[in-house]
Structures are given as C-alpha cells and as structure tokens.
A and B are shown apart, each in its own frame.
Chain A
C-alpha cells in the first residue's frame, strides 16, 4: 500500500484519488537522575523491595508536606536549555486531580499554566544523513505515580517506591511525519539527556515513556479531511513506539476510508499497544474530558529563575550529541555512521577526542575505537571509557598502526591485552607477544627471495600476466607473511614483491 517515505503518500483506490499526510506529536516522560524523589528524600532504587522507599510525604499521609528537590529543577532547566526553550522567569506548581490507587494523594503535583520551559526545538537525524527540526511546545516537572502490579488473582498490588520520582514531561508539536522520525526523536532525546547527565534514560528501567498523538490529513478527490487524533499510552521501548505509530497510521487510513469519520472537538481517543499481537486497542472512547481541576498547589511556593542562577546552569551545557556528530563529519571527515557510533555515548566521544588530542590520527582512532574497543566493551557490557585503557595508550597504538609497526589485526589483540593490563604500554605488549611487524626491507627482501625461489609456478603465473596472475601474486604475498609468522608488514612486503617480480 503505502511506501515508507516522508511526505505525502498515495493510495490506489478504485474510485478516488487518495493521498495522506501523517502528523505525529510526542509526549515523553523522562525520569531525572536525581538521587532522591522530587518532593522528599526517599532514595530511588530500581528493584528495591516493595514499598521500602516510601516516607510520609510520598505516601501522602495526613499532615505531610512536599519540599522541592533543587537538583531536579536544575536538571530540568538544563534540559530545557538544551532543547532551546525559553526558561520561565517565574514558574509554579499545580495540583492535577484524579483518583487512582498508585497516586497516593489522588492528585499529582505537576505544572499547568506556567511550565518551566516553553517554545523550544530539537534537531533529529534522518536516515538520509540530513536533519529535521522538531518543535517543542513545553517541558515541565512533575512527580511520578507508583506502580500497579496486576496479579493472577482478583486483586491488584500497589508499590509506591516510584511514587514521587521526578519526571520531566516534554511535549512536541505534531511535526513528525513518519514512524521512523518518531523513533529518531526518541533516540535523539535519549542520547541528549544522557549527554547532559540529567537522566540515565535506561529503557530497561522504564526511565522513558512515550505517548504519541497521531492523526492523518487525508486528501480525497481534492478535499482535505483530518482523521480523529489518537493517543497511544505508555510505550516504553523504541520498538513499541515505532511499531505502534506505524500500525496506527494504517489503521486510521483504513478506518477513514471505511467510515469517513473526521476530527471533531472531543473525539480524541486513547489506545494501548498490545505487543503480543502488535496492534493498538481502544482504551477510552471519547476523551471524557478528564476534569483535572488544576489549581495552584498551596503547599509549595513558586520558583523564580534569576539571571545568575540561569547563567550558572547554562555553563553546564555541553556540546549536544547531534551537533557533535555532525562536527566529526565536517571537521574530521568521518562518515556519518561512524560519527554516530562515536557520539552514541558522551563518554565515548570524550575518549575519542582525548585520544586524538594525544596525537592519534582521527580516522585511525575512529577505527580502533569503533571496531576494537567497542567490540570489547559490548562483550563486557561496559562502555569504551570504562574499559580502563588510558587514552594515551590508545593514541600510541594508533600511531603504531599508522607507522606499520603493528598490523591492524595485531592491534585488535593488543587492545584486549591492554584492557586487562592497563599499566602496560602497547609497545611493551607488542614486543612481549611478538606482534611487531617486520618492516625492515632488507630482512623482508631475503624472505621474499626465498618464497619466490620455492614457488616457481606461481612466479610464472604472475609474470605471464594471465588470468591467474592476481591470484598467484596474492598467494606469494601470503607465503611471505606466513614465513614471518604474520609479522611481515604487508605493505612493505608487497612493494618488495612487486619490485622483484617486474
């Protein structure tokens, strides 16, 4: 039916000319990486015993009162700055009322009409290497609810360990037009908040939750129709996000073609994602306008973001991941994919720059890091920076490879040993393990002579220049390398071979 590309799509229908455009806005909840909750000093600990990280405040006991976590506010401001938002000079807290067992006070402390951050944007990378700007409507702070655990029996269990955790809610304009773009935004946001150090954004631990709002603008026989908006609730993986958006697009088109229903006031509906069956399903028909009865929280005083405070937070802004990635492409001539790999984690990018600063040629450093070090890191479930290999050693290794002292293959072996013995220099390791390439022309020449003498047929094949010439030449070079137990510098050996064979 539809091709997976951006922009307008068309559909072949018997009677009408149908084109459609997809509009997706995303609401993202990000768990901030503070030690304690938003309004109390309970520690946030993933996997703790049920209800063991709860106090009178987050339990909503009578008489308890909230007190703001300064770090959470600063994290939120930092994220807002990174998202190019205007940071409100004056912001306040509001109560959002609804009844649910995981919400102990039966209201959530959030921000309604004066959010901390507004009118920002974020650049997302597109598959074709370009970027696209997605507008951010707002970002505000709120407290999280606890967890309902559904059991086999006719009851539910409630765990309030997470109740009160600090959340940053980010809302975008419906600027995304494909499921891939939605995913790209989610991934880029994850990268960004990790870079800034405001969230660990560990999907496994539910640190990011997504709620896409999707609808279509269908042009049928020249007239435009908008399908009703659907919100898909509580997605917590990139996969579920992309697939649910994709599914919705097709479902909405089908539904529109069948029923002709269009967007009206109040006909927004809510759907959930059934991962087992890979479908969205209806949760709430007409958005029974949840009357949240927002009003200013009388237990909390407002926040005034002074110029000095804002400046001190601005100073913590680092180069953002996408910008860094593009810089590696333009400055170092790395290809976009490799640049993306290097900048996937802040610490890896820092390590790369450190290695380059210590004299390594950037392309070589990129190769060694993205291939050898990253492979090791993945095997060990660690990051490149946490392998413990001092940057100076990696830089030295890069130089050794550049100068032909060791082969690229040998470099892989050396990195493994370096990670186990961080105090040993690559030079020392190479010597210890006989990995130094033989590049001495004189020595190699003798070996080449030997090989040529032992393989007259092959020599003939090469010099005769026929079909077998290339293969024979490769065979001869291989023999040289073998005779040196892999230590011959292939470049030098090849040069000598060429000289001798001409």
Chain B
C-alpha cells in the first residue's frame, strides 16, 4: 500500500481529494448517494468525458487539441443541417456527422505533421475556423424536433439500470486503458511524448501515430457533439463553446504532463470523478456554474503547486544538513 502510494503520488492525492469531496457531498445532500444522481453525474457531462479520454492520448503524445469543442459544434451542425434537408435517412446523417469530425481531425493532423507546426497553433486556428463553419451552416437558428429514439438514445437502459451512454463510456474507457497502457501503440504514444526525436531515431513512425491520434480526437469530438445534441434535443452554432478548457483541465488535473510523456489513465479517471463530484456537490449546494469553474481552477493550480512546494521543502532540509557537515 505504501509502495503503491509512493509510486503513484498523484493518484494518491486525487484519491484523498475525491474521498473528501464525497464525504462533504454526502453530508450536504441526502440525494447525493441516490442511484439517479450517480447516473446523472455522468450523463450530464457525457460529451465532455468521452473527449477527455482521447485528449489524454493527445497530451501524453506531447501535443494538444484545442479544436475539440468547435469540432463538436461543427459535427452536430452538419448532422442537423442534413436532418433539416430531409433527403437522407437520419441515421446516415449521424454517421456523416461523426465522419466530418474525423476529417476535421485528419486535416489538422496533416498540417501539423506535414509542416512541423505546433499543434497549439494549428488547433487554435481549428477552434476558430470550425466554430465559424458551424455558424455558417446554422447561422443563428436552432434545429430541433429530432426523432424520439434519438433524444432517448442515452437514457435508454441497456444492462440492468445502466443507460446506453454510460455503458458505452465505460466500455470505451476500458478499451482506451488497455490501448494506452497495455499495447505497443500505447508505448509509442509515451515514447513520442518523451522525445519525438528519440522516437524517430528508434524507428517509430512518429507522424503516423500523431495523425491517428488527431483523427481519433476529431471523430470522438464529433460523436460527443452528436451525443450532446441528443441530450439537449437541439443544435445551435454555439454548441459546446469553451468546453475545450474544461476538457484539458480534467486531463491535466489527472497528472498528465502538459509537456507529454507521462500520465496515467487511472489518474485521469480519478480527476474526472473528482471534477464531476465537486461540480455535483456544489450544484446541490446551489452554487452557480462560474463559481464551480473557479473552484476547479483553484484545484488545478493547487494540485501541481502543493506537491512542488512539499518536494522543495523536503529537498532543502538534507541539503542544509550537508552544508553543516561540510564537504565530504
């Protein structure tokens, strides 16, 4: 137990924070421990948490994708426009929506790998451009009145009392976990994140790995946009705006290094649980969304700052002793 905690310092911190959050939440509201609240917790953020999983790969790989929220909006807008046109079956419109997300990712991935540009810059252009494309399609309209099965897609129970979206999320998460930490592809993601040059000289096909991750990121963002549309029952050009910050915050809070090369799926899952529980608890205590975001921001900074300061304090003491004893 102690060995595990020493090796997984970040995860241990998160477990403590999560436990504290749960204890506080339970004392705050009698509804908290209900099954309905548990399902709500995930369902109300489903579009964010599925993107968090793929963003973990992208950041460990040493890149970033700021465009995810705009791609969400764009995919949903494409789907909604096709539905409105009414010329093709709705199911096909959904598939095209997801495919458009994948193409958006491919486009950005090609520019990043082909020209060697920083992904921060390219996906910033994507953030602005794809949001613009969504607005071009929908202007300031809101498209709704989707078929009933679509609006119930996530809440339909599948296994026992668990809704489809939740089951899908956990299956996807398990899959992502295996790929990241138990497969050759996952090892490559880490190696490239540590040093793209070393990876290249070791014969790893760096560009191809990166490209695949950006395509995956776009496709998952597209899927997230469509799930979001299903959840709220309407699509607007502004769908998902500014979600990228929330998504990246959850990944970084999970202990994934912004410089790439380190981080674990366990950490990200714990961070995800923590953020959802904090928001849920604050929501039950009637604290508004902006303040919730502030608390998450504070937690993000604190989670890096506190261990840093603690380490510095620990390093300083032995050094002071060494100085007192004089040079060996």
B is a partner of A: no
Q: Which residues of B contact A (CB under 8 A)?
A: none
